Amino acid sequence: MEPIIEIKSLSKTFGEGQNQVEALRDVSLGINPGEIFGIIGLSGAGKSTLVRCINLLEKPTQGAVLFHGRDLMGLKEKHLRLERRKISMIFQSFNLLEQRNCLDNICFPMELAGIPRKQAREKAMELLHTVGLPDKAKAYPVQLSGGQKQRIAIARALASDPEVLLCDEATSALDPKTTDSILKLLKTINRERGITIIIITHQMSVIEQICNRVAILDAGAVAEIGAVEDVFRNPQSRAGRRLVSPAMPLPVDESIPMARIAFNGNASSDPIIASLTLDLGVKVSIMGADTRNVDGKAFGTMLISLPEAEEKKTEILRYLNAFDGVTAEEV
Amino acid sequence: MTETITALLESWGVNKAAEQVSFLFDPVNIPFAIWETLYAPLCATLFAYLIGLPLGILLVTGEEGGIRPLPKSLMGLINTIINLLRSVPFLILMVLVFPLSRLILGTSIGTTATIIPLTVAAAPYVARLVEGSLREIDRGVVEAAQSMGCSTLQIVTKVMLPECKPSLISGATNATITILGYGAMAGSIGGGGLGSIALMRGHGRGQTVVMYVAVILLVILVQIIQSIGTRLCVKTDKRITHK
Ligand SMILES: Nc1ncnc2c1ncn2[C@@H]1O[C@H](COP(=O)(O)OP(=O)(O)OP(=O)(O)O)[C@@H](O)[C@H]1O
Ligand SMILES: [Mg+2]
């Protein structure tokens, strides 16, 4: 499958001399059509810069951005503007036009495209229904809650019939429940309209909830990239492990042998640790855990202590690895 | 009626009461002065916006990191000219601009002639006011517009100006009132209007009552302009919900 967006050895450097910041270093990514792709990283990792490079709001210092195989950097300003209509964007701060009501906000991209006013209004009304706010047509942004503003922003983003939707921390300003409903909406849009979605976030929960694939950005470089499940089950990079189990203290006391258990979402609801102690007659203590339940499946990691004896360790690891959706390794 | 007032003023010891009262109650003098007071500054405000609005937009869009950066040297030149014009005291500027008035209007005296120096003095001020208003806009909103494929012109006309409308209106109110003040000053050297009356008759000829009446009328004019401006500003601002 040919990627809809391909980022090729992209670098971005801000400033000069002493103040120089290398925000992105040799980033390469391919986004497949129809997928929901997550980009996660700690604050300052360069996520926003990366997503802004995709529609060239930020001009990369080096590298290329291909949209349908075509280099966007090679386009004339006018053609770039036309391409941008196919790549919509939503933001953490919503960025609605505050002096326009919701309906007119949604009409804005259609106004730019020269769509007749009446037709634009009809479509805007439909989109208001899509995002579940048909009664807010005449309301002004100031009268809306954060979640409602983001819904309007999503409707506005959809108005130009985009092929790609870029979301830069679109849920970071919202409470967990509202975040959840916005993510559900994005998922529906992805499924029903086949729009490719790229989500930037620093919340692992957002990634696990709706993304198919994820790239972990660490200090401007891609630390790892893969299917969400794989990255969750077994993060390869240090940045990955930090993000997957941020609450987990790294073993400070090197002398205690420990095992890391990863749940990849296929584990049954068996009480694994309880069975372990009962079946093998060993006592282990949980050193740290960061697991969560997604759609009734366990995701996350757990750190347990192991006995000193080598054969006991192997026995425990073998026992744990026999469970579906569970991987255990000594760390 | 005029006699009663004249008698009253004389009983207070006011000089030349009859002369002052007849001036004030003349059906033409005061209304004409009000007209003159308003006419030149309002025209000047209009012209100042014709020059200052595009300049103010340029100051914001053309700066480094703006939506359409212009050469640094050009921006530096514009900024310097604006600062220069703004730092020359108005009365001196007015004298300096006399030749220009003569060139354009054929005369350098009279109310109409003051429109030229008023415009020259107000345009850079208006440019700074507009610049200030446009800077209030959230960068994110401009960025969102760019991400939707807005051209520079569309960002200015469809995003920046409409989003900053309330602030622009309040700036325009300020500008009008300031130019009105300059206009009153201009009255003293060749213009007409209430300012000129207050100075020439009140100060010059000791007609204190006329002076106070002229000043009070100026105050009332300013109040009226301010309240119209404020009302318009509040009315257009959709960020204010409780009206
Ligand atoms: N316009 C700019 N000028 C200079 N440096 C910048 C600019 N924009 C970003 N940076 C720098 O680039 C780096 C990456 O910033 P970026 O905003 O992409 O991070 P982020 O991953 O989005 O962080 P956050 O999660 O806090 O939003 C930071 O070190 C930042 O200081
Ligand atoms: Mg960011």
Per-residue model confidence as pLDDT tens digits over A192-217: 999 999 999 988 889 989 999 999 99
What is chain A's Cα-based Rg? 23
Name the closest ligand to CA A217.
Answer: 1
**B148 contacts A109? CB cut-off 8 A:** yes
Ligand 1 atom with least separation from CA of A15: 4
pLDDT at A269: 64
Residues of B in contact with A95 (CB under 8 A): 138, 140-141, 143-144
Residues having CB closer than 6 A to ligand 1 are: A 14-15, 21, 23, 41, 43-49, 202
Q: What is the pLDDT of residues A83-106, one digit of tens each?
A: 999 999 999 999 999 999 999 999
**A99 contacts B144? CB cut-off 8 A:** no
Domain boundary among A196, A217, A242: A242
At A146, is the pLDDT very low, low, confident or very high (cuts 50, 70, 90)?
Answer: very high
Name the closest ligand to CA A11.
Answer: 1
Average pLDDT score, chain A: 89
Domain match, A107 and A159 both: yes
Q: Whose CA is nearest to atom 24 of ligand 1?
A: A43
Q: Tell me the average pLDDT across A280-287.
A: 83
Q: How far is CA A228 from CA A38, A40, A67, A235, A319, in A?
A: 9, 11, 24, 10, 25
Domain match, A177 and A321 both: no
Ligand 1 atom with least separation from CA of A41: 21
Domain match, A153 and A288 both: no
pLDDT at A225: 95
Residue B113 makes CB contacts below 8 A (sequence gap 6+) with: B101, B105, B107, B190, B191
- Alpha-carbon torsion B80, B85, B88, B92, what sign? positive
Domain match, A210 and A304 both: no
Domain match, A238 and A269 both: no
The number of C-beta contacts closer than 8 angstroms across A and B is 73
The reply to whether A128 falls in a domain is: yes
pLDDT at A201: 92
At A249, is the pLDDT very low, low, confident or very high (cuts 50, 70, 90)?
Answer: low
Domain match, A191 and A317 both: no
Q: Whose CA is nearest to atom 3 of ligand 1?
A: A14
**B147 contacts A140? CB cut-off 8 A:** no
Q: What is the pLDDT of residues A214-241, one digit of tens each?
A: 999 999 999 999 999 888 878 888 888 7
Distance separating alpha carbons of residues A108 and A212, to the nearest angstrom: 31
Give the DSSP per-residue string, A6-60.
Answer: EEEEEEEEES-GGG-EEEEEEEEEEE-TT-EEEEEE-TTSSHHHHHHHHTTSS--
Residues of A in contact with B153 (CB under 8 A): none
User: Does B92 score more than 70 pLDDT?
Assistant: yes
Cα A214 to ligand 1 centre (Å): 20
Q: Tell me the average pLDDT across A270-287.
A: 83
Q: What is the pLDDT of residues A172-184, one digit of tens each?
A: 999 989 999 999 9
Residues of A in contact with B239 (CB under 8 A): 98-99, 140, 142
Domain boundary among A212, A242, A272: A242
Q: How far is CA B99 from CA A174, A319, B40, B116, in A?
A: 63, 99, 18, 10
pLDDT over 70, % of chain B: 99
At A331, is the pLDDT very low, low, confident or very high (cuts 50, 70, 90)?
Answer: confident
Question: Nearest C-alpha of chain A: how many angstroms from B144?
Answer: 6
Q: Whose CA is nearest to atom 6 of ligand 1?
A: A14
Q: Tell me the average pLDDT across A181-190.
A: 96
Ligand 1 atom with least separation from CA of A58: 1
Domain match, A63 and A172 both: yes
Cα A246 to ligand 1 centre (Å): 22
At A304, is the pLDDT very low, low, confident or very high (cuts 50, 70, 90)?
Answer: confident
Q: Tell me the average pLDDT across A110-128.
A: 96
Residues of B in contact with A160 (CB under 8 A): 148-149
Domain match, A237 and A131 both: yes
Residues of B in contact with A83 (CB under 8 A): 149
User: Does B46 score more than 80 pLDDT?
Assistant: yes
Q: Tell me the average pLDDT across B72-91.
A: 94
Average pLDDT score, chain B: 91
Most A CBs within 10 A among B148, B156, B164, hence the mutation to make, goes to B148
Ligand 1 atom with least separation from CA of A51: 18
Domain match, A110 and A209 both: yes
Domain boundary among A210, A242, A274: A242
Which DSSP symbol is given to B203?
I
Question: Nearest C-alpha of chain B: how many angstroms from A92?
Answer: 10
The reply to whether A20 falls in a domain is: yes
pLDDT at A53: 96
- Whether A204 contacts A290, CB under 8 Å: no
Domain match, A60 and A183 both: yes
CA angle centred on B138, ends B135 and B142, rounded to 5°: 95
The reply to whether A96 falls in a domain is: yes
pLDDT at A251: 52
Q: What is the pLDDT of residues B203-230, one digit of tens each?
A: 778 888 888 999 999 999 999 999 999 9
The reply to whether A250 falls in a domain is: no
The reply to whether A236 falls in a domain is: yes
**A91 contacts B146? CB cut-off 8 A:** no
Determine the residue type at A138: K
Which H or E run contains A302?
strand A297-305
The reply to whether A91 falls in a domain is: yes
pLDDT at B180: 93
Domain housing A273: 258-330
Q: Tell me the average pLDDT across B86-90.
A: 91
What domains does chain B contain, in order, with CATH numbers? 2-236 (1.10.3720.10)
The number of residues in chain B equals: 243
pLDDT at B16: 81
Cα B70 to ligand 1 centre (Å): 25
Cα A61 to ligand 1 centre (Å): 15
Domain match, A133 and A195 both: yes
At A143, is the pLDDT very low, low, confident or very high (cuts 50, 70, 90)?
Answer: very high
pLDDT at A294: 59
Question: Which of A2-11, A245-254, B53-62, B132-141 bottoms out in mean pLDDT, i.e. has the lowest?
Answer: A245-254
Cα A164 to ligand 1 centre (Å): 23
Nearest to B241 among A93, A97, A142 (CB): A142
Q: How far is CA A175 from CA A91, A145, A172, A180, A213, in A?
A: 15, 11, 8, 9, 24
Q: What is the ipTM of this complex?
A: 0.88
Ligand 1 atom with least separation from CA of A200: 22
The reply to whether A247 falls in a domain is: no
At B69, is the pLDDT very low, low, confident or very high (cuts 50, 70, 90)?
Answer: very high
**B147 contacts A57? CB cut-off 8 A:** yes
Most A CBs within 10 A among B147, B160, B232, hence the mutation to make, goes to B147
User: Does B200 score more than 90 pLDDT?
Assistant: no
Specify the CATH number for the domain of residue A307. Answer: 3.30.70.260
Residue A57 makes CB contacts below 8 A (sequence gap 6+) with: B143, B146, B147
The reply to whether A253 falls in a domain is: no
Domain match, A233 and A268 both: no
Domain count, chain A: 2
Question: Nearest C-alpha of chain B: how many angstroms from A76?
Answer: 12
